[in-house]
Amino acid sequence: MNKIVTMLVSSAALVLVLAVPAMAQEGQASIEFSNYFGVGLTVIGAAYGIGKLACSALESMARQPEVAGSIQTAMIIAAALIEGFTFYALFICSS
């Protein structure tokens, strides 16, 4: 997991460093972050959050099967909250 995070941070830093000369030009910039960039970030973040939530919930259910029902209920409520926030963010990005 640490390798993935390191790779994502490194690639984001590389993109920002390479974008500086393009943004320094006068006139219209050659790199424009559109609404679709925000939508992409939103969807990636929501997918990561729900995946992490499901992973933790399944691990908890495996460790304590007697409380699996309450863990599943809490997981569904948390996933619904993440999805609601995602839909709100997508609405804001598309405006």
Q: How confident is the model at residue 4 (pLDDT cuts 50, 70, 90)?
A: confident
Sign of the CA dihedral 89, 87, 80, 63? negative
| pLDDT for the residue 31 | 56
Alpha-carbon torsion (52, 58, 61, 63), positive or negative: negative
- CATH at residue 61: 1.20.20.10
Same domain, yes or no: 22 and 39:
no
Residues 85 and 75 grouped into a single domain = yes
Please report the pLDDT score of residue 92 as a whole number.
84
pTM: 0.61
One domain, residues 16 and 41: no
Q: Are residues 52 and 78 in the same domain?
A: yes
Place of tokens 């691990």: 59
Give the count of domains, the chain: 2
Question: What pLDDT digit, counting tens, does each position of 14-67 carry?
Answer: 777 666 655 555 655 555 667 778 888 888 889 999 999 999 999 999 999 999
Shared domain check, 24 and 38 = no
> Are 51 and 83 found together in one domain?
yes
Tokens of residue 7, six digits: 């790779």
